[in-house]
Chains A and B, each alone.
Chain A
Amino acid sequence: MNCQEVMELMQRQLDNDLDENEREVLMSHTRQCPDCAAMFERLKLLSAELTSLPKVMPSYSLVDAIMPQLERIELHGQYEAAAEPDSSAKEDAPEILSRRTKRSRRFPSMRIMGGVIAAGIVAGLFLVTYPPSSSPDLGGLKLFSSSESDAKADKIASTSAQDTYSSASTSEVRTESMMRNNNDSKADAMNDLDEYSSKLGMDSSAPGNPNKGLPATKPIDKASSDNSSNASEGSGKQGLVEDPAAELNQSVSGKGLAASDSSVYSLNGQYYARAEGYTIKIYAAADQSLKFETTRKNGKPANLSWSEDSEQLTYEVQVEKGAIEKYVFDVLSGEDTKAAY
């Protein structure tokens, strides 16, 4: 055994990590090797010194010092749901705020847009009756042109609907950030923004989201579940604007591959699952009732996917430092287990 290997034994001996045999090897080596013996002595001395470093205490009560901050946090509700501060999310927050402010300047009145919304609805109903996938005959061409104008109308209508809402949410978020001074405030505000924007269905990448034309109070989950069970009935009931993008979403979720913030349907259509904050909620597709809810995870669940027999939902949780935990939720047993890789 060479000195370098013995070095590792010395180190482990300092942590009481050696078994009887290894200790014997170490001792017999240091008896013959003065360099190693000296090194071991020095390391033991160092380790003893480190062990006896002063057990410092804070010079005042830290909990008393942070009490006012804790009280402010308490006043503003339960913020433990806030996301782990994520630098990219922080950077996005101001940008979203400014984008919204710009919009509310451009479209100050919702009433003016009323006619446009109505036009959008008419165009939307037309689209539902004649799906864009129909053969490219004359009717199909007409449809194509009207679907374009519809998309524009829908965009304008939705923007104005958001504005009334976003100006309220913006000021609220700002007040909160001002009042709470700790590092989490940005992440909290970001989280609030996320919630607002998901309620609004505000996602610039999908301008045709059917919820956009709706009053903001309409819950998004109802709309999306109606979509899947019966698209025409759902849209008829809500007087919605329907468009190809929505149909695309629907077919994607049917395959259980939907984007992280939308519902993922089991293949037999019995359930749909959705990540909500730090948990996953599983609903019965038939009556939209909540069937299961997983425990809180250390990060936001994503990549939901159903097994082929629709009995298990697999999902991933992004925890700190980019690590990912994988879980399997079994709808028969109701068990939520951490999956091995």
Chain B
Amino acid sequence: MVEPGLIRLAQSGDRDALITLLREIETHVYRTAYYILNNEQDALDAAQEALIRIYTKIGSYEEKAQFKTWIQRIVTNICIDKFRRNKPTVSIDEHDMVFHEKQNVEDEVMSAYAVQDIRSAIDKLPEHHRAVVVLRYLQDFSYNEIADSLDLPLNTVKSYLFRARQQLQTLLHDYQKGGVRG
């Protein structure tokens, strides 16, 4: 997504290159913040903080890491810090994956979930589970890229993602059944 040449220029002290680079990534940084924090104003603040940190720390980026995972690491760290200060979350079942309930299959009508429902369901996930979901679906990251960004072992990434999806599925299913639509 960002040219390696541009990154090197930015690292060598070319300020214009660094500004260009920040412009290229600002949307990606913002999008992650938006879905982790579920609030536009917080996301704008967090994204700006992340961009400033990227600006000051560009020299510490090493090419052995992917640039996109390096920037997502910065923004998710900032968001998770903010998030910890702001709100409590429901605990997620950390034990082995099980079916939460015997699903009632018979006359289930599959219909699209409302975006608002999905966002509020994501908002109920614990911070790291949420970050994994956001990187997987909003940044289209692989398991490995998520692991690099969040500094988590690969297996942890998978289990967070799987549990998160299961939890989301359960929550959304409940919304549909209860007709509680946003």
B-binding residues in A (CB < 8 A): 3-4, 7-8, 11-12, 14-15, 17, 34-35, 37-39, 41-43, 45-47, 49-51, 53-59, 61-63, 65-66, 69-70, 73-74, 78-82, 182-184, 278, 295-298, 320-321, 323
Contacts and interface: CB of A to CB of B under 8 A. Distances in A.
A69 B103 CA distance: 54
B43 to A, nearest CB: 8
Contacts of B53: 183-184
B181 interface: no
Grouping DSSP codes into helix (H, G, I), strand (E, B) and loop, the B interface class, with mixed when no group exceeds half, is: helix
Given A50-B133, A59-B40, A43 B169 contact: yes
B87 interface: no
A39 B103 contact: yes
Interface in B154-182: 158, 161-162, 165-166, 168-169, 172-173
Contact of B173 (A17, A42, A58, A278): A42
Given A50-B137, A70-B52, A82-B56, A320 B161 contact: no
A297 B64 CA distance: 12
Contacts of B172: 46
30 contacts: A4-B97, A7-B162, A7-B166, A11-B158, A11-B166, A12-B158, A35-B102, A38-B105, A39-B99, A39-B169, A42-B103, A42-B173, A43-B166, A45-B110, A46-B172, A49-B115, A56-B31, A58-B30, A61-B26, A62-B47, A63-B22, A70-B55, A79-B56, A80-B57, A81-B59, A278-B60, A297-B60, A320-B77, A320-B151, A323-B151
Interface of B: 15, 19, 22-23, 26-27, 29-31, 34-35, 40, 43-44, 47-49, 51-53, 55-60, 62, 73, 77, 96-99, 102-103, 105, 108, 110, 112-113, 115, 118-119, 133, 136-138, 143, 151, 158, 161-162, 165-166, 168-169, 172-173
Contact of A42 (B97, B110, B161): B110
Contacts of B98: 4
B15 A74 contact: yes
Nearest to A73: B56
A28 B49 CA distance: 50
Contact of B48 (A45, A66, A80): A66
Nearest to A42: B169
Contacts of B44: 58-59, 62
A47 B57 CA distance: 35
Given A4-B96, A45-B112, A49-B118, A182 B102 contact: no
Contacts of A35: 99, 102-103, 105
A187 to B, nearest CB: 10
B103 A38 contact: yes
B143 A15 contact: yes
Nearest to A14: B165
Contact of A182 (B52, B99, B169): B52
B87 to A, nearest CB: 20
A80 B56 contact: yes
Nearest to A38: B105
Contacts of B96: 4
Nearest to A57: B27
B59 A296 contact: yes
A1 to B, nearest CB: 14
Given A182-B49, A298-B60, A323-B151, A53 B137 contact: yes
A199 B73 CA distance: 34
Contacts of A59: 40, 44
